[in-house]
Amino acid sequence: MSPFEFVTIFCSLILGLALTHIFRAVSDLYEIRDRVKTYWLNSLWVVTVTMWAIYAWWGLWSLSINMESWNYAQYWFLVINLSSIYFFTTLVLPKATDEGTIDLEKHYFSVHKAFFSIVAFSLFSSVAVNYSLFGEPMIGPMTIMPTIVGFVALGAAFTESGKYHKGIGVFIFLMFIAFQLTDVNLINYEV
């Protein structure tokens, strides 16, 4: 087993659990769809956090190329960052209940403080990951953009404004699409 494989097994497990949680929640809510009052912004965040987890998993591949040695602090930054992704995926959708209507707008605003605090933490901790593991400069696109978006997310944690939430929901979704489109990570298969 290579060092990369050893280190990333636990990371893959964290992201796998995040994706499993979100897929299960969507499936459970679909089964009781007659009792679910949908909310487009909540649905947008479901797509965003799913992409976020998948993109984080994809990004782990760069570590197989760039990391010749690891230290515990670097690994800890990575585990903390990936754990934050798991935690906000658990908040984005409510648990399906046996009775009553599930209002996704009401759920969104009931968890927004915790959700956006964790999203902001994830973005801020990604700066440490990008700097310490990927060798990104402290002032560059991979550190400045997560910091800016992190402060925008913090704003969402402290405001009840529907307009602000709608605006940043679309903004962060588009930022995430842009990040994915500019990714240059290639995985080569050699026999």
**pLDDT tens, 6-26?**
778 898 999 999 999 999 999
For 6, residues 6+ apart whose C-beta sits below 8 A from its C-beta are none
Residue 83 has pLDDT above 70, yes or no: yes
- Percentage of the chain beyond pLDDT 70 is 94
Mean pLDDT, range 177-190, rounded to an integer: 72
- Name the band, by pLDDT with cuts 50, 70 and 90, for residue 191: very low
**Cα 38–15–139 angle (5° rounding)?**
95
- Name the band, by pLDDT with cuts 50, 70 and 90, for residue 66: low
Do the domain assignments include residue 191?
A: no
CB neighbourhood size of 85 (10 A): 24
Q: Which two tokens stand for residue 161?
A: 């404004």
Q: How far is CA 92 from CA 23, 48, 190, in A?
A: 12, 10, 39
Stretch among 58-72, 114-128, 136-150 having the lowest mean pLDDT: 58-72
Domain count, the chain: 1
Do the domain assignments include residue 139?
A: yes
Do the domain assignments include residue 189?
A: no
Whole-angstrom Cα distance, residue 162 to residue 167? Answer: 8
What is the domain extent for residue 70? Answer: 3-181
Q: How confident is the prediction for the chain on average, in pLDDT?
A: 89
What pLDDT score was predicted for residue 139? 85
Do the domain assignments include residue 94?
A: yes
Name the nearest CA neighbour of 172 among 15, 40, 51, 90.
51
Location of structure tokens 């499993």 = 20
- Name the band, by pLDDT with cuts 50, 70 and 90, for residue 67: low
Mean pLDDT, range 72-97, rounded to an integer: 92
Do the domain assignments include residue 186?
A: no
Do the domain assignments include residue 71?
A: yes
The model carries a pTM of 0.89
For 142, residues 6+ apart whose C-beta sits below 8 A from its C-beta are 130, 134, 136
Do the domain assignments include residue 65?
A: yes
For 103, residues 6+ apart whose C-beta sits below 8 A from its C-beta are 37, 39
* Structural contact between residues 22 and 51, judged by C-beta atoms closer than 8 angstroms: no
Upper half-sphere CA count for residue 69 (Cβ side, 13 Å): 1
- Name the band, by pLDDT with cuts 50, 70 and 90, for residue 37: very high
Do the domain assignments include residue 164?
A: yes
Name the nearest CA neighbour of 90 among 107, 78, 76.
107
